[in-house]
């Protein structure tokens, strides 16, 4: 008998929703038993409602599920949300109120004081916030913005070692980050677009919360000055960021030592051996023109972040380039890892004890 935990996916027909379905296929702990989307899709089989765009085939177990309308009740202890922010806020609260653990990719609740903005390798302790939430048994965990995740992950070991005081990030972001339909190709071919609505604010606000300290009053954001400029480029998947960083110490280090600090970084998901966790969260590449989206976005199934060109910055101290797969580590994969951590820590409603030892 399939003892895996049933999960639902909200916004299952969109770009990130499809990634959830694809990545959860043959997942050892979870299986998708419910999918929800907008009214237009409701009542149809998933295979018909979703215009499947992944290069892997549509998993058969999901193809025949009947799509529910977002807002309808679901029977799964865990609900992954790929909803757009325009509807996510309310729906996710409702689902949490009904006792689900909602793990959301939407921005709606990210800055709520009692909601963890979670990167499992970076701030697993923030999960304690869930106990302070007002939902009866349910809860909300959020996944940071797709660009922020890669940057914050690369900053974490530097923040631990020296403290980060300033971050200047210019991103080159893939079109899959804009969802569907996203950017018209007539605007994107032979072009770069130096603005992504809302994106810079997210990087500027989320980074401090992710790297902040948990206190009795909530998360105290790390005091980091952040300047972000976000650009859309004709790349399918993989967000690149040119990062300059000011540290509170470490002036005596050379690039090789700094690289070692990044490469050796490891966190709780690695300790626990969570199924979706990369063996090494940060790969430090030595190629002079690395990382590159097409060549490195799929490292460790798209869950590892890659860093290259680590060198001094004449203005802020250090600079480097960081790449992460925006719809895997930066969205669906990252959220699944959050779910795995929540399960391992016994936070999933109705699942007693810890997992997988409990099984």
- C-alpha to C-alpha distance for 101 and 7, rounded to whole angstroms: 10
**Shortest spacing between CB 106 and its own copies, in angstroms:** 19
**Shortest spacing between CB 300 and its own copies, in angstroms:** 10
Does 294 help bind its own copies (rule: CB under 8 A)? yes
Does 54 help bind its own copies (rule: CB under 8 A)? yes
Structure token digits, residue 345: 């820590």
Does 223 help bind its own copies (rule: CB under 8 A)? no
- C-alpha to C-alpha distance for 150 and 236, rounded to whole angstroms: 17
- C-alpha to C-alpha distance for 250 and 318, rounded to whole angstroms: 10
Structure token digits, residue 219: 């998360």
For residues 151 and 322, the answer to whether their CB atoms sit within 8 Å is yes
Half-sphere exposure of 52 (CA within 13 A, CB side): 16
- Largest CA-CA distance found in the chain, in angstroms, rounded: 62
Catalytic residue set: 146, 239
**Shortest spacing between CB 342 and its own copies, in angstroms:** 30
For its own copies, the closer of residues 40 and 311 by Cβ is 311
For 254-317, the DSSP string reads -HHHHHHHHHT---HHHHHT-TT--SSSEEEP--TT---HHHHTTGGGGTSEEEEEEEEETTTE
Which listed range, 35-43, 66-74, 140-148, 224-232, lies at the site for its own copies (CB under 8 A)?
224-232
Which listed range, 124-132, 250-258, 283-291, 330-338, lies at the site for its own copies (CB under 8 A)?
283-291
Site for its own copies in 149-188 (CB under 8 A): 166, 168, 170, 172, 175-176, 178, 180-188
- C-alpha to C-alpha distance for 330 and 337, rounded to whole angstroms: 11
What residues pair up with 213 in beta bridges, in sequence order?
Answer: 220
- C-alpha to C-alpha distance for 358 and 4, rounded to whole angstroms: 12
54 Cβ contact list (under 8 Å, min separation 6): 18, 19, 22
Contacting residue, 24, 153, 233, 342, with its own copies by CB under 8 A: 233
Site for its own copies in 297-336 (CB under 8 A): 297-299, 308-309, 313-316, 319, 321
Structure token digits, residue 68: 């529910």
Does 193 help bind its own copies (rule: CB under 8 A)? yes
In degrees, rounded to 5, the angle at the alpha carbon of residue 116 between the alpha carbons of residues 331 and 100 is: 80
Residue with tokens 């990545």: 23
Does 293 help bind its own copies (rule: CB under 8 A)? yes
**Shortest spacing between CB 184 and its own copies, in angstroms:** 4
CB atoms within 10 A of CB 308: 22
- C-alpha to C-alpha distance for 79 and 329, rounded to whole angstroms: 18
Q: Which of 107, 240, 227, 106 is nearest to 173 (CA)?
A: 240
Q: How many residues bind its own copies (CB under 8 A)?
A: 62
Does 124 help bind its own copies (rule: CB under 8 A)? no
Does 98 help bind its own copies (rule: CB under 8 A)? no
Contacting residue, 28, 40, 43, 53, with its own copies by CB under 8 A: 53
Does 94 help bind its own copies (rule: CB under 8 A)? no
Does 290 help bind its own copies (rule: CB under 8 A)? yes
**Shortest spacing between CB 179 and its own copies, in angstroms:** 8
Distance of CA 293 to the CA centre of its chain: 17
Kindly tell me the burial class for residue 165, based on how many C-beta atoms sit within 10 Å of its own C-beta (0-12, 13-18, 19 or more): middle
Contacting residue, 189, 217, 252, 352, with its own copies by CB under 8 A: 189
**Shortest spacing between CB 291 and its own copies, in angstroms:** 7
**Shortest spacing between CB 309 and its own copies, in angstroms:** 6
Binding mask of the shown chain, residues 57 to 76, with x at each position contacting its own copies by CB under 8 A: x-------------------
Binding site for its own copies (CB under 8 A): 15, 53-57, 166, 168, 170, 172, 175-176, 178, 180-195, 204, 225-227, 229, 231, 233-236, 240, 242, 244, 288-299, 308-309, 313-316, 319, 321
């Amino acid at each position: 008998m399939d003892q895996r935990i049933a999960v639902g996916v909200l916004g299952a027909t969109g770009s990130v929703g499809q990634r959830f379905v694809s990545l959860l296929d043959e997942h050892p702990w979870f299986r998708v038993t419910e999918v929800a989307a907008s009214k237009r899709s409701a009542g149809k089989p998933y295979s018909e409602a979703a215009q499947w765009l992944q290069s892997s085939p549509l998993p058969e177990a999901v193809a025949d599920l009947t799509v529910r309308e977002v807002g309808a009740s679901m029977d799964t202890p865990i609900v992954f949300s790929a909803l757009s922010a325009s509807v996510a806020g309310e729906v996710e609260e409702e689902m949490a109120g009904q006792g689900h653990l909602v793990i959301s990719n939407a921005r709606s609740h990210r800055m709520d004081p009692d909601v963890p903005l979670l990167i499992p390798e970076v701030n697993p302790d923030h999960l304690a916030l869930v106990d302070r939430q007002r939902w009866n048994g349910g809860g909300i965990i959020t996944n940071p913005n797709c660009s922020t995740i890669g940057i914050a992950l690369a900053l974490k070991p530097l923040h631990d070692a020296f403290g980060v005081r300033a971050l200047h990030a210019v991103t080159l972001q893939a079109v899959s980050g804009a969802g569907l339909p996203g950017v018209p190709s007539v605007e994107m071919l032979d072009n770069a677009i130096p603005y992504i609505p809302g994106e810079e604010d997210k990087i500027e606000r989320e980074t401090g919360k992710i790297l902040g300290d948990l206190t009795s009053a909530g998360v105290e954001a790390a005091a980091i000055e952040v300047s972000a400029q976000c650009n859309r480029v004709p790349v399918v998947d993989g967000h690149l960021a040119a990062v300059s960083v000011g540290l509170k110490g470490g002036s005596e280090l050379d690039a090789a030592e700094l690289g070692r600090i990044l490469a050796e970084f490891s966190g709780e998901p690695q300790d626990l051996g969570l199924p979706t966790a990369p063996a090494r969260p940060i790969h430090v590449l030595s190629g002079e023109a690395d990382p590159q989206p097409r060549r490195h976005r799929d490292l460790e199934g798209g869950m590892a972040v890659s860093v290259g060109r680590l060198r001094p910055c004449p203005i802020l101290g250090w600079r480097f380039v960081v790449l992460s797969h925006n719809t895997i580590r930066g969205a669906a994969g990252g959220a699944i890892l959050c779910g795995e951590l929540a399960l391992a820590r016994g936070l999933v409603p109705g699942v007693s004890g810890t997992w997988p030892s409990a099984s």
